[in-house]
Amino acid sequence: MFKRLSTDTINTILIIGVILLLVEVVFFEGGLVFSVLFSGLMLYIGWKKYRKLWGKVFFWIGLLTLVFTILSMIAVRFLIVAVIFLFVRDYFRSRQDPERVTPEILDEELPHHQEPLLQQKFFGNQSTKDQSYQWSDINIHGGLGDRIIDLSQTVLPRDEAVISIRHLVGNIVIYVPYEVEVTIHHSAVIGRAAIFQYRKSKLFNQVVSYRTPGYSTARPRVKIITSLLSGDVEVKRI
């Protein structure tokens, strides 16, 4: 998410935060600074004497007072609100332009060593390069937004392809060719599941398993493992 922010946006947020911090320090006539220094001193002394009982008391009192002092600052509150706003904005933008993953065929002249199809990213969209790739199992960890996995432009291995998607909030859509057999294990805290003709309108901390009839004997086949905190999963033929 932060990689898509312009430098001007980041600089504006930081400048506003610094201005609010300076205004708050001047307004409280240094009382806030004294509170931070006093809490830091208690934290330091408690850490040095942590083996003793009074050291533990000093450490935890200093830590708690420091955390509450920092959270009470207007500048920190502004930064928290700004980050939450950017997360929400990024989520709705990703709903309109979800991530598409399209594994492709390997050119025989390419070297056997290759980079992973996808890099681990908690926020933001990503896609494979335009050039061809050898199939490799997909393992995605996501945060906010939708994810689309398209298998219509790849040649799956003879044994079994594996797709693993662990996501927080958002929907997952997987397009599978008609000749490919599928097994899927999906878990969700809140959401719905639509796997071909199978429909589950409400999922609440449940696990759903589905397997096509010819999965045990036919090839090619793909094993899909998905996990969501909140969102829907949909597997379609294409």
* Closest to 226 (Cα-Cα) out of 136, 162, 152, 180: 162
Instruction: Please report the pLDDT score of residue 77 as a whole number.
Output: 81
End-to-end, the C-alpha distance of the chain in Å comes to 31
Other C-beta atoms lying within 10 Å of the C-beta of residue 224 = 24
Q: How does pLDDT run across 191-235, given as a tens digit for each residue?
A: 889 999 888 888 888 889 999 988 888 888 999 999 998 888 999
Average pLDDT score over residue span 76-98: 76
Q: How does pLDDT run across 142-175, given as a tens digit for each residue?
A: 777 778 888 877 778 878 889 898 888 888 888 8
Whether the pLDDT of residue 183 is over 90: the answer is yes
Specify the range with the lowest mean pLDDT, choosing from 30-44, 96-110, 139-153, 172-186. 96-110
pLDDT > 70: percent of the chain: 74
Instruction: Please report the pLDDT score of residue 206 as a whole number.
Output: 86
Residue carrying the six token digits 């600089």: 11
What lies within 8 Å, CB to CB, of 72 at 6+ separation is none
String of DSSP letters for 180-227:
-EEEEEEEEEEEEEEETTEEEEEEEEEEEEEE-TTTTT-SSEEEEEEE
Residue carrying the six token digits 């935890």: 60
Instruction: Please report the pLDDT score of residue 99 as a whole number.
Output: 59
CA–CA distance, 207 with 7 (Å, rounded to integer): 43
Q: pTM here?
A: 0.55
